[in-house]
């Protein structure tokens, strides 16, 4: 409560001159200019968009910088972003590349609005930067629009915009099913000395899971760099190395040591084995909690019960190595 009171007093002290003084003297202009800096400081301190709105609504004449700041603060609320963009147009405040990039990021899950902003940028022939392209690649990858991804990738190349690790990571994910293109991007990334991040490595492991030589090369590279594989990388590695008992056990134990919830993985795999064996329907397996799931198996008739008991007695090691 005391923090909220202090924040309100700070806002009141900053904007008191706006609400008390309607004059336009030189002194007033100077105070406004000084307050512009304080406005940005206040907006930067806001931890919640409601606080930011409280500050924003006290601004006498919001400018492009203020709007950009507010759009960035409200980027997780699409309705707020739409409102701010609409208000900018009503006040004839022209968005710049920062405005558009933030708006694209806000609408990356909302295809129609994203495309509206994207097309508007193209029509205005704006100078798109690496942030714009990264956001666009991420969005079109989400929608699996591979034609658009290729178009954006080629446009970047043509304009001489150098991809960064985020661009490469997104492109690798987008082209993970196109092995030729994937290898081309992966090799280009390595040749330019851009260090793959954990996401890039995870995508590469998944893409090369049929090429065990390449997979081992990448896996060893991750270990040499002492990087922390994510859960996707670990699961892919377990599937690839399931015939190499020593390495499989090493990876499994490493996961447990690093705090991954291996018990949940085992139970999920066990359910899949039971479903594949015809013991249980997947819908029922998903609907029931663990205790109900286990107790429900004992009511099965004859040989089905025997199969279920055998599966339930499998060790974690046996479950994870089981081929579905």
Give Dmax (Cα) for the chain: 94
DSSP 64-96: HHHHHHHHHHTTT-HHHHHHHHHHHHHTT----
Q: What is the pTM of this model?
A: 0.69
Interatomic CA distance for residues 9 and 22, integer angstroms:
21
User: What is the full per-residue pLDDT of the chain (324 aa) written as tens digits?
Assistant: 454 555 444 444 444 433 333 333 333 333 343 466 777 787 788 778 888 888 888 888 889 999 999 999 999 999 999 999 999 999 999 999 999 999 999 999 999 999 999 999 999 999 999 999 999 999 999 999 989 999 999 999 999 999 999 999 999 999 988 889 999 999 999 999 999 999 899 999 999 999 999 999 999 999 999 998 988 899 899 889 888 888 888 998 899 898 888 888 888 888 888 777 776 554 454 555 554 455 555 455 555 666 777 877 888 878 887 875
DSSP state letter for 189: H
* CB 256 within 8 Å of CB 262: yes
| CB contact burial 177-187 (16+ within 10 A = b; e otherwise) | eeeebbbebbe
Query: Which pLDDT tens digit goes with each residue over 76-115?
Result: 999 999 999 999 999 999 999 999 999 999 999 999 999 9
CA proximity to 204, closest of 239, 238, 168: 168
Could you give the C-alpha distances from 34 to 29, 37, 322, in angstroms and in order? 9, 6, 69
CA proximity to 85, closest of 73, 74, 71: 71
Residue 75 makes CB contacts below 8 A (sequence gap 6+) with 81, 102, 105, 106
* CB 98 within 8 Å of CB 117: no
Residue labelled with tokens 């034609």: 147
Interatomic CA distance for residues 101 and 324, integer angstroms:
45
* CB 320 within 8 Å of CB 270: no
């Amino acid at each position: 409560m005391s923090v909220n009171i202090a924040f309100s007093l700070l806002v009141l002290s900053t904007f008191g001159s706006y609400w008390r003084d309607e004059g336009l003297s030189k002194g007033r202009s100077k105070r406004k200019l000084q307050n512009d800096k304080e406005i940005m400081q206040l907006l930067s301190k806001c931890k919640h968009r409601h606080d930011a709105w409280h500050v924003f609504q006290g601004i006498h004449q919001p400018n492009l910088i203020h709007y950009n700041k507010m759009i960035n603060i409200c980027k997780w609320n699409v309705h707020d972003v739409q409102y701010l963009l609409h208000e900018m147009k009503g006040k004839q405040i022209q968005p710049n590349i920062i405005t558009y990039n933030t708006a694209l990021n806000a609408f990356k899950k909302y295809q129609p609005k994203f495309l509206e902003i994207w097309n508007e940028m193209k029509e205005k022939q704006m100078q798109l930067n690496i942030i714009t392209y990264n956001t666009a690649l991420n969005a079109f990858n989400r929608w699996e629009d591979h034609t658009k991804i290729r178009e954006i990738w080629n446009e970047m190349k043509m304009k001489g915009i150098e991809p960064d690790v985020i661009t490469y990571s997104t492109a690798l994910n987008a082209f993970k099913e196109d092995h030729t293109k994937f290898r081309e991007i992966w090799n280009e990334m390595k040749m330019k000395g851009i260090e793959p991040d954990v996401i890039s490595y995870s995508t590469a492991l998944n893409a090369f899971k049929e090429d065990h030589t390449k997979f081992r090369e990448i896996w060893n590279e991750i270990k040499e760099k002492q990087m922390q594989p994510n859960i996707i990388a670990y699961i892919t590695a377990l599937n690839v190395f399931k015939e190499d008992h020593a390495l499989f056990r090493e990876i499994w134990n490493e996961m447990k040591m690093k705090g991954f919830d291996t018990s949940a993985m085992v139970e999920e795999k066990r359910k899949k084995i039971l479903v594949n064996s015809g013991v249980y329907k997947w819908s029922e397996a998903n609907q029931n909690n663990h205790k109900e799931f286990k107790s429900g198996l004992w009511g099965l008739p004859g040989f089905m019960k025997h199969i279920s008991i055998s599966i339930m007695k499998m060790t974690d090691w046996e479950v994870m190595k089981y081929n579905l």
